Structure 1
Amino acid sequence: MTQSQTRPILAESRAWKTAVAPYQQPDLRRSVWQIVNTLVPYFLVWFLMVPAYRISFWLALPLIILAGGFTVRAFIIFHDCGHGSFFPSRRANEIVGFITGLITFTPFFAWRHGHALHHSASGDLDRRGDGDVWMMTVDEYLASPWWLRAAYRIYRYPLVLFVISPLILFLFVHRIPLKGRKRERRSVWLTNVALVMIVTLMSLLIGFKTYAILQLSVLGLAASAGVWLFYVQHQYEEVYWKRHYEWDYATAAVEGSSFYKLPKILQWFTGNIGFHHIHHLSPRIPNYNLEPCHNANPELHVEPLTLLQSFKCIRYRLWDEANYRLIGFGELKKIARA
């Protein structure tokens, strides 16, 4: 079933609520085991990475890549805690969310606030901006001054979007209490204080230079992978974007979020987040229940986006409202001449 074929099912019926309901209950045993098989290897890899780096950076590189993978997996746990889906207890979600937020350099409550806005407005052209990749429509781009068009082109350049911007986001933007209620702003400061303590302790134990090089390398890889995942989950050719008056939550969830079919090892490290259409349909489903929910409900199946196919998404830059699809700058020239 393609994504366009799901529209009648979702628009005319709310049976999907019944379909996803059995998978929304977290399993404490599975959640605890996921913490163990993520955080224990993460710290073990760090323990091995330091002596390897002191011999040679290249000897440490495979461990850096592995630590980056476990950081991504820790972020998925953090993400589930943000949705309140990882534990039955709200307090447990908040505690584990704060701890995994330190690993991923992300303040829990502030991120949770912004991410909730993303879920509530995903696919809505009139409510873009919170937790989204910056995306302009063709008309907006053509009507913009030269400096804004230049800034947009720079932002959407792959080196900037997937390498430079992720590091800036996780190292600096997440350090600033930009908006939200008192609790969101306070979570930024508490995370910053805790990170300063961690940096100080690690610098005393292994030296600042060693820690900085290893941490920046691990975080840089994980941040780039995370932004890439988020990008391909919402930036593919026939993705769903509608004006608010014709926007529908369930249709936006399934048609506006990809089924990113990854090799099993990458699916494990990314915590099944490739089943993103299921996740957006029901954020209350813990990551380990996303695949079972997908497999049990053929009516929610969509055309998968493979790893190889996903690299084509890099060329998409602008939303063509007239033709309901993303286009590249090359196609923009044809539209501008028309």
Structure 2
Amino acid sequence: MTDGQATADFLIRGSVSRSGPELILATKPFAVDSTARSWWYVLSTTALLAAAVAGTLLAPHGLLKLGASVLSGLLLLRLFVLYHDQQHHAILPKSKVAEGFMWVFGILSLSPSSIWRASHNHHHNHNSKIKGSHIGSFPIMTREHFEKARKSARWLYLFMRHPLTILLGYLTIFMHGMCLRPFAMKPRQHWDCLIAVVLHAVIAGCLIRFAGWQAWVLTQIIPHFIASAIGSYLFYAQHNFPSVTFYDKSGWTYDRAALDSCSYLKMGPLMAWFSANIGYHHIHHLNARVPFYRLPEVLEAIPELRNPKVTTLSPLDIYRCLRLKVWDVQQQKMVALDGTNG
């Protein structure tokens, strides 16, 4: 950091610390897409994914096939985050080709555009609200509400937040939550969800029929399992961590929801690449139009964003996040059912 930058940071911190609309406005210069750069990331990731999928079928040794399968899952995760960015219009916002490409990818990844945009936009507009934040996100109950709820409601709530539900996100969150349930509830609005399920089954049938069960497991099951499990956990941990804050309607503001209720999930360079910088989640929620490749620039340029609430992918931090169950109004923190949050 240069002396001039340090001085500027000191003046900002020592005089007026930006918040609210002013802080959001400070991120606007970074919410600019580079068409060539975005297409490079989309096409290069797609090419790598295609090569990895081919490796699950054509590699000469079983271990190489398995390695290609795991790599396919990680690349599927990266392409999903790029899809997420395009759905926010952060990258390639005016490209009809990109829109069509990502529509197809949403079908193939069991996250059709109709339900993704509806649920995810709701999530951004209601993030951290005690009431109304369950659509497009993991549900939140206060301790008092949980204790007064019927046994069946408590069971469903704990099931939806259970580590196994997150681990099996391929079936629970994507196949059921993003495809089967939306289509069953609103078939006309979410007809693309049915297409996703049918096409997924057709691909499975073709793989089994023409390449065998092993090819089906390596090419479809393992990659989707890996991408869905990691993606489900990342989404969970970015909004369910020990220092998270939830609000009732009177205390909620968009910027507070971003900074107090979204984590900065620190990762190593490799995992940051595979997750396309989704760990900078507090910045993403502050301005969803910032392309994923510019999120680190925002963190570096805006001093007010450099002290976020942090979690990591260490086993201890994962344990601390997963054990949180209810919002304790008196303590103003998420706690386990035994009342602790550590």
Name the TM-score class by shorter chain. 0.7 to 0.9
Residue pair 1:122, 1:252 contacting (<8 A) in 2 also: yes
Equivalent position to 2:322, from 314, 317, 326: 314
Q: What is aligned with 1:42?
A: 49
Specify whether residues 118 and 93 from structure 1 end up closer, same or farther in structure 2 by C-alpha distance, changes over 3 A only. Answer: farther
Alignment of 1:148-159 (within 5 A): 148-158=153-163
Aligned amino acid, residue 40 of structure 2:
W
- Cα deviation for residue 25 of structure 1 reads 1.4
Specify whether residues 196 and 157 from structure 1 end up closer, same or farther in structure 2 by C-alpha distance, changes over 3 A only. Answer: closer
- Cα deviation for residue 148 of structure 1 reads 2.8
SS at match of 2:339: helix
- Cα deviation for residue 175 of structure 1 reads 2.8
Equivalent position to 1:145, from 146, 150, 164: 150
Question: How many percent of aligned residue pairs carry the same amino acid?
Answer: 24
Determine the C-alpha separation between the residues in 2 that align with 1:319 and 1:67.
37
Q: CA RMSD in A?
A: 2.5
Q: How many residues align structurally?
A: 322
Q: Does 1:32 align with 2:36?
A: no
Determine the C-alpha separation between the residues in 1 that align with 2:110 and 2:170.
12
Residues 211-251 of structure 1, C-alpha deviation per residue, up to 9 Å, x if partnerless?
24531111011100001100110001121210012211111
SS at match of 1:272: coil
Determine the C-alpha separation between the residues in 2 that align with 1:121 and 1:180.
22
Residue pair 2:138, 2:161 contacting (<8 A) in 1 also: no
Q: Does 1:162 align with 2:166?
A: yes
Determine the C-alpha separation between the residues in 2 that align with 1:314 and 1:195.
30
Residues 256-296 of structure 1, C-alpha deviation per residue, up to 9 Å, x if partnerless?
11011100000000000000000000111111111111111
Aligned amino acid, residue 282 of structure 1:
N
Determine the C-alpha separation between the residues in 2 that align with 1:306 and 1:241.
20
Aligned amino acid, residue 122 of structure 1:
N
Determine the C-alpha separation between the residues in 1 that align with 2:124 and 2:97.
22
Determine the C-alpha separation between the residues in 1 that align with 2:17 and 2:136.
28
Aligned amino acid, residue 307 of structure 1:
L
Alignment of 1:252-267 (within 5 A): 252-267=257-272
Q: What is aligned with 1:80?
A: 85
Equivalent position to 2:333, from 315, 325, 328: 325
Equivalent position to 1:172, from 170, 176, 179: 176
Alignment of 1:258-277 (within 5 A): 258-277=263-282
- Cα deviation for residue 252 of structure 1 reads 0.5
5+ residue gaps, structure 2, are 1-8
Alignment of 1:65-104 (within 5 A): 65-89=70-94, 91-104=96-109
Determine the C-alpha separation between the residues in 1 that align with 2:71 and 2:56.
10
Residue pair 2:129, 2:247 contacting (<8 A) in 1 also: yes
More displaced, 281-290 or 294-303? 294-303
- Cα deviation for residue 117 of structure 1 reads 0.5
Residues 138-195 of structure 1, C-alpha deviation per residue, up to 9 Å, x if partnerless?
011111223333343344332x23223442322333333155695x423324434544
SS at match of 1:326: strand
Determine the C-alpha separation between the residues in 1 that align with 2:56 and 2:104.
21
Residue pair 2:168, 2:228 contacting (<8 A) in 1 also: no
Determine the C-alpha separation between the residues in 2 that align with 1:162 and 1:181.
26
Determine the C-alpha separation between the residues in 2 that align with 1:181 and 1:102.
15
Determine the C-alpha separation between the residues in 1 that align with 2:179 and 2:187.
16
Q: What is aligned with 1:283?
A: 288
Residue pair 1:124, 1:244 contacting (<8 A) in 2 also: yes
- Cα deviation for residue 51 of structure 1 reads 3.7
Aligned amino acid, residue 292 of structure 1:
E
Q: What is aligned with 1:305?
A: 311
- Cα deviation for residue 92 of structure 1 reads 3.8
Determine the C-alpha separation between the residues in 2 that align with 1:173 and 1:305.
26
Aligned amino acid, residue 27 of structure 1:
S
SS at match of 1:125: coil
Q: What is aligned with 1:118?
A: 123
5+ residue gaps, structure 1, are 333-338
SS at match of 2:311: strand
Structure 1-normalised TM-score? 0.86
Q: What is aligned with 2:248?
A: 243
Determine the C-alpha separation between the residues in 1 that align with 2:31 and 2:179.
32
- Cα deviation for residue 16 of structure 1 reads 1.5
Residue pair 1:10, 1:16 contacting (<8 A) in 2 also: yes
Q: What is aligned with 1:335?
A: none
Query: Between Structure 1 and Structure 2, which shows a larger proportion of helix residues?
Result: 1
- Cα deviation for residue 203 of structure 1 reads 4.5
SS at match of 1:126: coil
Aligned amino acid, residue 173 of structure 1:
G
Residue pair 1:76, 1:270 contacting (<8 A) in 2 also: yes
